[in-house]
A and B are shown apart, each in its own frame.
Chain A
Amino acid sequence: AQSVSQHNHHVILSEAASLELGCNYSYGGTVNLFWYVQYPGQHLQLLLKYFSGDPLVKGIKGFEAEFIKSKFSFNLRKPSVQWSDTAEYFCAVNNNQGGKLIFGQGTELSVKP
């Protein structure tokens, strides 16, 4: 069955700490990978996406993610978090057969000032 697993349910960091959020997927065939962010009271926004090519992708606000095909992983990283990064982060995957996105359970990130 198609699924996405996010390793951490809730992460608490201090400002300037480094961030890595894990994401593994189980999905047959060619995949497109996404990280979305949902700030408190706001709607889902795309952080970054991977379709093909360079497995290290850079997104907005200093975030990046690395696609490791052999590990079925797409981990999100940021070298130095800020208080404004407090939000919920979702990993998602789909294929080229339409818009159906499979989401992970989400990771709530709390950054202490």
Chain B
Amino acid sequence: KAGVTQTPRYLIKTRGQQVTLSCSPISGHRSVSWYQQTPGQGLQFLFEYFSETQRNKGNFPGRFSGRQFSNSRSEMNVSTLELGDSALYLCASSLGAGTSSSNEQFFGPGTRLTVL
């Protein structure tokens, strides 16, 4: 089974621009979660989508948004980029049902976003 894939792997943007990141989950997984990883703040949960609906949300400003498509692929959008948005953005997928094992997260390689 193919793992979680993320595109692009690297991205350079300037302040004020917007960016869209893409994540394809493992086949059969219906939940996709997004995380931001920075040296200062560590790994922080952004949001989770399950069956095209946002199920959980972290503590990030409204500039960060996402969506999920019917094939479970997900996109994350950041508008009006700030220097502090430079980070590794990780996507994780899981089966997403209500049991412990179905919530085990499988991570992709991440998208490294640099904001200049």
Count the B residues whose beta carbon is within 8 Å of the partner chain — how many? 29
* B110 is an interface residue with CB less than 8 A from chain A: yes
> In the complex, are the beta carbons of B45 and A96 less than 8 A apart?
no
6 contacts between A and B (CB under 8 A): A43-B109, A99-B55, A100-B48, A100-B58, A101-B33, A103-B35
- In the assembled complex, the Cα of A97 lies from the Cα of B45 at a distance in Å of 14
Q: Which residues of A contact B (CB under 8 A)?
A: 30, 32, 34, 36, 42-46, 49, 51-52, 90, 92, 94, 96-106
Smallest CB–CB gap between A48 and chain B, Å? Answer: 11
Chain B residue contacts of A98, Cβ below 8 A: 31, 48, 50, 55-56, 96, 103
- Name the prevailing secondary structure of the A interface residues: loop
With a cutoff of 8 Å between Cβ atoms, the chain B residues found around residue A46 in the complex are 104-106
Q: How far is the CB of B32 from chain A (nearest CB, A)?
A: 8
Query: Within the assembled complex, what's the spacing in Å between the Cα atoms of A103 and B38?
Result: 13
Chain B residues, Cβ within 8 Å of A97: 56, 98
